[in-house]
Structure 1
Amino acid sequence: MEIYIKNEKLPLLSIIVPVYNVQDYLEECCNSIINQKYLNIEILLIDDGSTDNSGEICDYFGEKYSNIRVFHRENEGLAATRNFGIAQAQGQYLGFVDSDDWIYENMYSDMMKIVLEKNAQIVCCNFDLEIDKRIIKRGKNGIDIYNKNEAIVNLMYPQFYQFYAPNKIFKKELFQNVEFPIGKHFEDIITIYKVFLKSEKVYFIWQSGYVYRQRKDSITNAIFNSKSAEVLDAIGFVMNDSKRRFPNNINDIMVGYIRYYISFLDKAIIGNSKELRIYQMTIQDVIKKYKKAIIINKKLSFARKIQFLVCGYFAKLYELLAKIKNFLN
């Protein structure tokens, strides 16, 4: 076994890695966490009933490295596995890595530096995308700090850190009485929202630390169906609750809500969903109500504003354009 060299003067960071049938990606994921420059990490590899060789790969890494703990469980899904990991974590801070993704070696050292300097409860970093082994860069220089209401508004806009759990670190105490909802798709949305509500400030590193691998079988890339529609319920909850809590930010919240809704309307159009007209009518009404807010919104590009307005006022044209865009891609 290789003894992990750590600096116990630094806070312990627990990295929770749910594992399910990812034998082709797991080794790269584990090595990227092992090679982190931050020197006080424990890694929890939680095998969620894998039927391929993922469990054996977990055992290999657990036997090789002293800071890796391996758990084997019956299959319960991502949310239950993350909840189990939180309960088992010994660190003061938590991070999450999906086992088909990987991270840059300075991701956690950069984020924990802010924790140490600012006593931060939540630090986020930007992320890159890997599509067919090609890296699409999103990162840039800079670090920003947001108060609670602005941090929550930013969750709804794609140029920021979004609702994903893995590109963030959290003080563990924020998850007291907060769990990922079992049996739900897009389980990050409401959970991350609730955790953000418990923190007064959120720090965002614009440089990318995390790499999301876009797989063809990923639920986030799937054609619209009844299960993926759950995201609209989750975003609807966030929208309604945040409007109540932060009335001064209603316009930005609603435009962010429209952005999410439109992304799934596109999937419904491409998939010829039976519920398509319902979704079109709903978002058209919201767009018309918040037309002025869309036009003056500072977080949207000009092209995105045009997209919203076409969707709201020219449904047939929008439907045609969505299909053409999908065909060209």
Structure 2
Amino acid sequence: MIEPIPSRPWLSILIPVYNVEAYLQECVESVLAQADAGVEVLMLDDVSTDGSALLMEALRQRWPDRIRLLAHPRNQGLSAARNTMLAACQGDYVWCLDSDDKLLPGAIAELRDIVSRHGPELVLCDFQLWRAHPRLKHRLRGEAHRASFAGPAGQLLHSRADLLAGMCRKGQMHAWSKVVRRSLWGDDLRFPSGSYFEDMATMPRLLLRARSWFYAPSVWVAYRQREGSIVSNMTLRKAADLSGALRVFSKELVLAQQEDPGLRQPRIAFLVSHMSARNYMGAMRFLAAHPQSEGVAEAARQFAQDFLLSSPLTPQQLLQAYRRHGWWMRYLRGRRWLESDDLKAAQQAAS
């Protein structure tokens, strides 16, 4: 049962919940400490086995007019939780926030100012890496302010080519650094249920739909660094999902290029190929670290096919482009994988 809310909110913040009792209160408090009456918070319990569900109810009792609770009858994963909340939310804009992260003070006020003055379909923000015990090396790495976009800031823009290029350069495709007009999702764009790297599979597709966007180079989200992340605990299944994350996007990009000449620019081909190569190399590094695992040879062939299908440039063309742009470290690191026998065999099979 979805509880009614008094009036239509301008912003819905979606928080999926699964065994995050230790973090959830701080997350929710970071939102409601700065939210105005037009902000609704949706939380969905994905059958937690700790005290998360009880904490959710306690938080709802604390803010009965601001929080709406949902629940799945069985555990379905992050994508399904977000999809259920997308269907239930009522705000004009939607912000997906992970339950172990938090919003920094002033984020919602700055967002509302942008929305009221410019009305973009998509708003991008920056973030910080949030560590329990930050050290000097973390500050020197710039973890207090990580840019999610490379391009013009502080103005309403409409070029999908500039948007896609700036996102591909940074590679920060996470959903929580993007606030999206709810209508942009439509009824046909959702996170892939049962898959890892769901943001990589979804956010590039969403970028193709945005006709207006605004980049705020401000740190709005604190992204918690903790053990147990997808990347730090890679498996063959996760590697496969990473490798194939751009399959649908690559098809939709071809269709979008037919109506938007800007998306046919050489820089788009290069940067999309670069993003595809990052996924391919990340998946292949797992295979290289587990050479005796069952199914490695078959997986390597599939990963090569995934790259060739999602990259506008051939491996040889991408390496040449790295050199032409002066991306020497990318060129040197990429040679191992982009000149591999698996890719050469996949090219021959496709020709």
TM-score (norm 1): 0.81
For residues 43-54 of structure 1, the aligned pairs below 5 Å read 43-54=41-52
Matches within 5 A, 1:1-329: 12-36=10-34, 40-65=38-63, 66-74=65-73, 75-134=75-134, 136-139=143-146, 142-143=153-154, 145=157, 147-157=159-169, 159=170, 162-177=172-187, 178-243=189-254, 245=257, 246-248=263-265, 249-272=268-291, 274-275=296-297, 277-278=300-301, 286-297=314-325, 301-313=327-339
Quick check: 2:127–2:223 contact (8 Å CA) kept in 1?
Answer: yes
- Cα offsets for 1:90-129 (capped at 9, x unmatched): 2111111111111212222223322222110100111222
Distance 1:280 1:73, change over 3 A: closer
TM-fit CA distance, 1:313: 4.7
Shift of 1:55: 0.4
Query: Which letter maps to 1:152?
Result: L
* CA-CA distance at 1:30 after TM superposition: 1.1
**Superimposed CA distance per residue, residues 266-288 of structure 1 (whole angstroms, 9 cap, x where no aligned partner):** 23323435247547866799432
Of stretches 60-69 and 232-241 in structure 1, the one that deviates more from structure 2 is: 232-241
1:180 and 1:20, CA in 2 relative to 1: closer, same or farther beyond 3 A?
same
CA distance in 2 between counterparts of 1:176 and 1:237 reads 16
Residues of 1 paired with 2:158 and 2:239: CA distance? Answer: 30
Runs of 5+ consecutive residues of structure 2 not aligned to the other structure: 1-5, 258-262, 342-351
Shift of the 114–57 alpha-carbon distance from structure 1 to 2, 3 Å rule, reads same
Deviation at 1:314, TM superposition (A): 8.2
Task: Specify the code of the residue in structure 1 equivalent to 2:116.
Answer: L
Secondary structure in structure 2 of the residue aligned to 1:24? helix
**1 CA distance for matches of 2:102 and 2:79?**
20
Deviation at 1:155, TM superposition (A): 3.3
Distance 1:240 1:271, change over 3 A: farther
The percentage of counterpart residues that share the same residue type is 23
Are the structure 2 counterparts of residues 172 and 205 from structure 1 closer, same or farther at C-alpha, using a change threshold of 3 Å?
same
Contact 2:239/2:286 (8 A) holds in 1: no
**TM-align CA RMSD:** 3.0
4+ long deviations beyond 6 Å? 279-285
CA distance in 2, matches of 1:243, 1:271: 35
- Closer/same/farther in 2, CA of residues 191 and 280 from structure 1, 3 Å limit: closer
SS in 2 for 1:70: strand
For residues 217-239 of structure 1, what are the alpha-carbon distances to aligned partners after superposition, in whole Å with 9 as ceiling and x for unaligned? 12233224123311221223323
Higher strand fraction (1 or 2): 1
Rate the CA distance shift 1:312–1:76 in 2: closer, same or farther, 3 A: closer
Moved more, 246-255 or 130-139: 130-139
Between Structure 1 and Structure 2, how many residues are aligned? 304
Mean Cα deviation higher: 233-242 or 16-25? 233-242
